[in-house]
Chain A
Amino acid sequence: MNSPAESTAQPHNESTDARISVRNLWKIFGKNAGSVIGTDLADLDSETVRKRTGATVAVRDMSFDVHPGETFVVMGLSGSGKSTLVRCMTRLIEPTSGTMSLDGEDIAACSPQRLRELRRSRMAMVFQHFGLLPHRRIVDNVAYGLEVRGVSRAQRYERAREMIEMVGLAGHEDSLPGQLSGGMQQRVGLARALAVDPEVLLFDEPFSALDPLIRRDMQDEVLRLQRELHKTAVFITHDLSEALKVGDRIAIMRDGELVQTGTPEDLVGSPADDYVRDFVKDVSRTAVLTARSLARPALPGEAEDGPAVPAATVVDDIVAPLADGTAPVRVTGAGDTVLGYVGRDDVLRLIAGDRTADAAKAAGGQSEPRRPGDAPGDPVGA
């Protein structure tokens, strides 16, 4: 329904190196679910479909790939279908149609037994409200996945203790979940998911129920674990700063549809439409854009011996080296090759841009075309 979205909705049509590959996934709730897909109704917006058939379109024709070791964030407001999407991926909710493959094997088509095998060893999920078993000790909660798989008590306790140690809860093995704080409980949830050593981790708004400070700790924890373990992760959140912090790539969902998929830099640097632009307008671009995006050839007469920074450095972090001297920084890629230069003027111009945008926002408050929370379905492209 909006043209910029469609161009990004299916970024990789065929991808052989994808760990997870979702194609044309639909989830429609309600009695007439079957009567929507493949008919004219499929082209209508969700509100109209609901009025005509009583069926609710939660996920609409989604396709995307997640690569090994990547943290893929799906972000959207509540009701955008993101939690339904992640549940469809492990079939906690049965998708209405479409395929999700894990290393080429279609999860949507596998038998209940095979699905259990996949859940027991290949993919594990972390939940917003933890879903711990209050009657079991922490060690038994963490060992649960191994227990249902049939691992012996000694082995699974050993593994569980390792995991508890890894998430920083050593000493709490024999506590009950109710004795731990929310943040600690979610660490247990994380340990439980990691205990089965899955290739894929699914996070469903794991930190939304936590206090802001604890949330930041937990985000750092996930980043640390990802650096050590390199799991493939699908991470659902409604918090943009969380998405930008943990995501290698981010997919923005709206009304069950993908609006844009890209790196944080893509989203902030070139939002696909007004919806995404509105989302990211409060993000300081200097905190997201990298040296690579500002790099340019050296200007005539410019000093070429400034400090070197890796291409992935965010702009905020090259302010200090720039302040130390007058020479522009050298942006280096793999093997210390110089990709280009970034000078004080470039950074100032970017900061000025942020400020102007803020000022324009403050001035034009009411005339803004739309906000992310607007009524769904009003056509943007029209």
Chain B
Amino acid sequence: MATAQPAPSAPPETAGPSPSGHVPGADGAARRPPGTAWLANRWVQAAAAIAVLAAGYAAARALGTPAWLGTFPDATGQWLIARLDGVYTWIVANRNSSPLFLYGFNYVSVGLGSAVILVNQALVLLTWPGVVFAGTLAAWRVAGWRVALLVLATFAVFALTGLWNEAMTTLALITTSVLIALIIGIPLGILAGRSDGFHRAVRPVLDFLQIMPAFAYLMPMLLLFGIGNPAAAVATFVYAVPPAVRITALAIRNVDAGAVEATTSLGSTPWQILTKVQLPMAKRTILLGVNQTIMLAVSMVVIASVIGAGGLGDAIYQALSKVNVGQAVEAGAAIVLMAIALDRVTGAAGDGTRTPLLPAPWRRAAPAVGLAAATAVAATARLVGIEGWPPAWSISFSGPINTAQQGVQSAIGDATGAFGDLLLVGVLNPLSALLTGTPWWLVVLVAAALGAIFGGWRTAATAGAAVLATGLLGVWENSMDTLSQVLVAAAVTLAVGVAVGILAARSDMLAAILRPVLDAMQTLPPFVYLIPAVALFSVGRVPALAASVVFALPPVIRLVNDGIRGVSAHAVEAAVSQGSTGGQLLTKVQLPLARSSLLLAVNQGIMMVLSMVVMGALVGAGSLGYDVVFGLKQNQLGLGLTSGLAIVCLGVFLDRVTQGRRSNA
């Protein structure tokens, strides 16, 4: 049940963010004179657009970069940043006097803070034996003894690494934000499932939330709720709520129409239809949505350490900023195990097949008995004076890990360093220079042209406007630098991902080996991908790229593999019967028929790369992500918010250009 956790990876039927403009742009191929047919090839057109960009760069350099060929004028950006800084000053001055805060956000903030503390208190009250007992028992009841053992092992890691309290804080944060996300998301999903109008209204909002990189959320949250757990809970809630709404709506809509019709014909009221037919029949799918919501919450709760969320995320964040790989690995292992355990437990609740069978009289009583037993364990523990895990019982692995990491570094550090330098000097820097050194209006035009080529006129307008907006926000150079990182990482991801995906599709053994690995990778919070990257490449842009590639690979491999395997067996059989070679089969039948999956892979791969590249700021990748972090830390709302918005703009640009035609496919 390890479904992907990052934003753009809802189930395939829901993944396509908004069916955007699908105006046929280059479809007039048939009407062209025969000799110029190659001009209609979209890739030729795209290459021409890139060539224009390079020519513009060369021309600007040759002419000594006069103002009209230079970088984006930053007047609007300066103005905007100044305005936003003004807003920040106002908020700081009026946080305790403006009714908006006194009666609005402050209440939410205090309420959420109390909720997190309350859950945390409850976990403390349960004592560690109580928590371990209750968690393991619940896991066994829902998912069987294997998962129960996994949960037990997870608790053991929390305790032995001395991160018990951090883990409980993270668990409390996740619980609070997931509960809010479900309390709000599921009713909205039910509404969207039953009302076409509401569904149409809510879909673009969800699409937008899903392409918005997590990093872009943080600044406004900080502004409205202050630094700390409440802001983190809201950010996590916003990040985690889309699948709850989307999948619930999908589940309700997919309920067998015949059953709804039959029960209507027997005189059910709408409420009876909902409670007796739709909800029970949609239950499993809704639980899948709950699973996805929890997984998104786990990843966001770690990222939210940047705005003061305590717990394991904070431990990783602190360790990373000190480049203490050992500590980061400890905390990373704890959060990874927590993610996997939560995924397995809620996933099993969704498919319901691994639930152990109890004798009938026990079935109803089980939750009450379990609760009573857990309370008894907790009470006994308190009586003998046990509360949190005693620090003395912990073993620190960070020392050995650091030693090992240094060993690895000294062994292959030169090689990775050289590779990193090569990548920097040979690819990243030139590309960044090209994007920042080309006249800005030419970049905007080329972006629009790419939109037109791959999507149509509406996509062209969106793409051009999105790129233009990054300039208007005053962060043109950083945006172009971030874009260059995204392009390089995406190119590597797609090259590797498509190749591995094709190999996996052709070899059952490779597919069988890859599946659990991809499952596990897709369960991990994105943040932890940075840890091994730092261990290997130290800090800078290269580890951020490495993390992005590794982070984005699983969905690409999976989509390519599934797409090729999903090609109709009849078509493959027919092609084989006509004597196709393996290569011909692949290029003439499987890849063309898997086109929509391949396009989805490109889109998702690029979107995930973007969300990771900006997170790379935490390991020194600079650019937009760094401005967000810097703005958060230094209370510079203007810079943080404009950079966050620029990330969203880049996201919109990349998303629209890469998925423009999917609706036609």
Is chain B found bound to chain A in the same assembly? yes
Which positions in A face B, CB cutoff 8 Å?
90, 92, 115-121, 124-125, 127, 129-136, 144-145, 147-149, 189, 192, 196, 202
Q: Is the Cβ of B258 less than 8 Å from the Cβ of A144?
A: no
Q: Is the Cβ of A131 less than 8 Å from the Cβ of B261?
A: yes
Cα separation A136 to B275 with both chains bound (whole Å): 13
Q: Is the Cβ of A119 less than 8 Å from the Cβ of B277?
A: no
**A192 surroundings in chain B (CB, below 8 A):** 262, 266
**B78 surroundings in chain A (CB, below 8 A):** none
Query: Given contacts A116-B267, A119-B267, A133-B280, are A125 and B262 in contact (CB under 8 A)?
Result: yes
User: Quick one: which of B127-181 are within 8 Å of A by CB?
Assistant: none
Q: Is the Cβ of B266 less than 8 Å from the Cβ of A119?
A: yes
Chain B min CB distance to A182 (Å):
13
Q: Is the Cβ of B258 less than 8 Å from the Cβ of A148?
A: no
Q: Is the Cβ of A92 less than 8 Å from the Cβ of B261?
A: yes
Chain A min CB distance to B267 (Å):
3
**A133 surroundings in chain B (CB, below 8 A):** 259, 263, 276-277, 280-281
Query: Given contacts A133-B277, A133-B281, are A145 and B266 in contact (CB under 8 A)?
Result: yes
Q: Is the Cβ of B281 less than 8 Å from the Cβ of A92?
A: no
Q: Is the Cβ of B262 less than 8 Å from the Cβ of A132?
A: yes
**A135 surroundings in chain B (CB, below 8 A):** 280-281, 283
Q: Is the Cβ of B263 less than 8 Å from the Cβ of A144?
A: yes
**B263 surroundings in chain A (CB, below 8 A):** 131, 133, 144, 148
Cα separation A125 to B259 with both chains bound (whole Å): 12
Q: Is B265 an interface position by the 8 A CB rule?
A: yes
**A144 surroundings in chain B (CB, below 8 A):** 263, 266, 276
**Sample (6) of A-B pairs whose CB atoms are under 8 Å apart:** A92-B264, A116-B268, A133-B277, A144-B266, A149-B267, A192-B266
Chain A min CB distance to B263 (Å):
6
Q: Is the Cβ of B259 less than 8 Å from the Cβ of A132?
A: yes
Chain A min CB distance to B363 (Å):
15
Q: Is the Cβ of B281 less than 8 Å from the Cβ of A148?
A: no
Q: Is B272 an interface position by the 8 A CB rule?
A: yes
Chain B, interface SS category: helix
Q: Is B269 an interface position by the 8 A CB rule?
A: yes
**A202 surroundings in chain B (CB, below 8 A):** 265
Cα separation A218 to B277 with both chains bound (whole Å): 27
Q: Is the Cβ of B276 less than 8 Å from the Cβ of A148?
A: yes
Q: Is B256 an interface position by the 8 A CB rule?
A: yes
Interface size class of B (residues with CB under 8 A): 10 to 19
**In the complex, given contacts A129-B258, A132-B259, what are 9 additional A-B residue pairs having Cβ atoms less than 8 angstroms apart?**
A92-B264, A115-B267, A117-B267, A120-B267, A131-B260, A132-B262, A133-B263, A148-B266, A192-B262
Chain B min CB distance to A174 (Å):
12
Chain A min CB distance to B360 (Å):
12
**A116 surroundings in chain B (CB, below 8 A):** 267-269
Partner of B265, one of A117, A121, A124, A147: A124
**B260 surroundings in chain A (CB, below 8 A):** 131
- Which of B263, B264, B266, B283 has the largest number of chain A CB atoms within 10 A? B266
Cα separation A136 to B269 with both chains bound (whole Å): 18
Query: Given contacts A127-B258, A133-B259, are A92 and B265 in contact (CB under 8 A)?
Result: yes
Cα separation A127 to B283 with both chains bound (whole Å): 24
Q: Is the Cβ of A131 less than 8 Å from the Cβ of B269?
A: no
* 0/1 string, B245-279, CB within 8 A of A gives 1: 00000000000101111111111110010001100
**B258 surroundings in chain A (CB, below 8 A):** 127, 129-131
Cα separation A196 to B266 with both chains bound (whole Å): 9
**B266 surroundings in chain A (CB, below 8 A):** 119-120, 124, 144-145, 148, 192, 196
**A189 surroundings in chain B (CB, below 8 A):** 262
Chain A min CB distance to B287 (Å):
13
Chain B min CB distance to A120 (Å):
3
**B256 surroundings in chain A (CB, below 8 A):** 131, 134
Cα separation A190 to B276 with both chains bound (whole Å): 20
Give B269's nearest chain A residue, CB to CB.
Answer: A116
Q: Is the Cβ of A125 less than 8 Å from the Cβ of B268?
A: no
Chain A min CB distance to B252 (Å):
15
Q: Is the Cβ of B269 less than 8 Å from the Cβ of A148?
A: yes
Cα separation A147 to B267 with both chains bound (whole Å): 10
Chain B min CB distance to A106 (Å):
18
**B283 surroundings in chain A (CB, below 8 A):** 135
Query: Given contacts A117-B267, A145-B266, A148-B272, are A127 and B281 in contact (CB under 8 A)?
Result: no
Chain B min CB distance to A140 (Å):
10
Cα separation A90 to B263 with both chains bound (whole Å): 12
Q: Is the Cβ of B261 less than 8 Å from the Cβ of A127?
A: yes
Q: Is the Cβ of A131 less than 8 Å from the Cβ of B267?
A: no
Cα separation A115 to B263 with both chains bound (whole Å): 13
Chain A min CB distance to B218 (Å):
42
Cα separation A144 to B280 with both chains bound (whole Å): 14
Cα separation A286 to B519 with both chains bound (whole Å): 68
Give B259's nearest chain A residue, CB to CB.
Answer: A131
Give A147's nearest chain B residue, CB to CB.
Answer: B276
Partner of A148, one of B259, B261, B267, B280: B267
**A147 surroundings in chain B (CB, below 8 A):** 276
Chain B min CB distance to A292 (Å):
38
Listed from nearest, the 7 A-B pairs whose CB atoms lie closest are A131-B262, A120-B267, A119-B267, A131-B258, A145-B266, A125-B265, A116-B267
